[in-house]
Amino acid sequence: MDNRPETRAETQIHVRVWGMDADARPFSQNAVANNISSEGAQILGINHPLKTGDIIGIKHGEKKARFKVMWVTDAGALRKVEAGVRILQGQEIPWQGMACPEELTFAPGNVKRRFVRHKIQFPIQIGYADSERVRMNTNATDVGGRGCYVETLLPLPLGTQGTITFWMDDEKVQTTAVVRASDPGVGMGIEFTTLDAHVQERLQQFLDKIDTSLSGEDPAESASNEAP
C-alpha cells in the first residue's frame, strides 16, 4: 500500500470479528468498528486477547475481509479489548463508501475526529415517522454532536427514520434521525440528520461539560489520542 494519509470517519458500525486469539483459541463475536477508513478501523468491545501482528477476519453486512492487528489495548472490564486494524493487500474493505472526509479535519500524519463520543447516560426521546406508535423514552449510552448509540435488545431496523428529542439545560432540541446501524440483541446507532452545524457544536460543548470522565482533559486532544 502507498503512504498517503487516510480519511477516517467518526461513524460507528457493527461488525462480526473472528480468528485465533493470542492464546491460539478460535473466536467469533459481534463488535463495533469505529474511526473507519478505506484502509482500517478501530475495533471496540473484543472479548478475547489479541496481539500485534495477528490476522483476523471482519464482516460488515455481506462483505468480509482479512485485517492485520496494528495495536491492542485493554480498555477495562466495560470497554474490553480495543484494537487498531489495517486491511491486507488484495482485500476489499467491507464498509466501502462509508468514510466521510467532511466529518474530519486531517493532515498528513495526523488524524483528528471532529467530535468526541461521550460514553454517558444521556436521556433522549425517540419518535417515529408514523404517528400510530408511542414515543420511546430511553438513554443513549454513547453520544456526540452527530449522533448516538442506544443499547437495546430490540433495535429498530436499519434505515428507520424518525425524530430524536433531548434537552440541553432548559432548551428542548428536536432533530430528524435515521438508524445507521442495527444489531439485534445489542443496540442501534442513530445519526442526527437535521441538526445545524452550530447546534451540533453546542451539543458537543454541553456533552463535554457534563461528562465528568473528561474532567481536566482537552476533549479535542482526547479525540486525537483515540484514533488508531
Residue 183: CATH number of its domain? 2.40.10.220
Q: Is 136 found in the same domain as 93?
A: no
Q: Output the average pLDDT for the chain.
A: 78
Task: Give the pLDDT band (50/70/90) at residue 35.
Answer: confident
pLDDT at 188: 83
Using a 10 angstrom Cβ sphere, with 0-12 exposed, 13-18 middle and 19 or more buried, the burial of residue 4 is: exposed
This prediction has a pTM of 0.49
Q: Is 97 found in the same domain as 131?
A: no
Range 62-86 average pLDDT: 83
Tell me which of 38-42, 200-204, 213-217 is least confident: 213-217
Pairwise CA distance, residues 44 & 47, whole Å: 9
pLDDT at 66: 93
Q: Is 220 found in the same domain as 128?
A: yes
Q: Is residue 1 pLDDT above 50, yes or no?
A: no
Task: Give the pLDDT band (50/70/90) at residue 207.
Answer: very high
Q: Is 83 found in the same domain as 134?
A: no
Residue 175 lies in a domain: yes
Which residues neighbour 179 within 8 Å (Cβ) at sequence distance 6 or greater?
155, 156, 157, 158, 159, 160, 161, 188, 189, 190
Number of domains the chain is built from: 2
pLDDT at 78: 54
Range 23-27 average pLDDT: 85
Largest CA distance in the chain: 54
Residue 110 lies in a domain: no
Task: Give the pLDDT band (50/70/90) at residue 179.
Answer: confident
Q: Is 185 found in the same domain as 153?
A: yes
Q: Which domain holds residue 41?
A: 8-103
Quote the cell numbers at residue 211.
461528562
Q: Is 63 left (phi over 0), alpha (psi -120 to 50) or beta?
A: beta
**198 phi and psi, to 5 degrees?**
-70, -30
Residue with the three cell numbers 453546542: 202
Quote the cell numbers at residue 145.
454532536
Cα distances from 2 to residues 39, 48, 62, 110, in angstroms, run 11, 31, 27, 16
Q: What percentage of the chain exceeds 70 in pLDDT?
A: 76
Q: What pairs with residue 34 in β-bridges?
A: 42
Q: Is residue 172 pLDDT above 50, yes or no?
A: yes
Task: Give the pLDDT band (50/70/90) at residue 77.
Answer: low
Q: What percentage of the chain exceeds 90 in pLDDT?
A: 32
Range 194-217 average pLDDT: 81
pLDDT at 228: 38
Q: Is residue 225 pLDDT above 80, yes or no?
A: no
Tell me which of 50-59, 69-78, 159-168 is least confident: 69-78
Residue type, 82: E
Residue 116 lies in a domain: no
Tell me which of 30-34, 94-98, 219-223 is least confident: 219-223
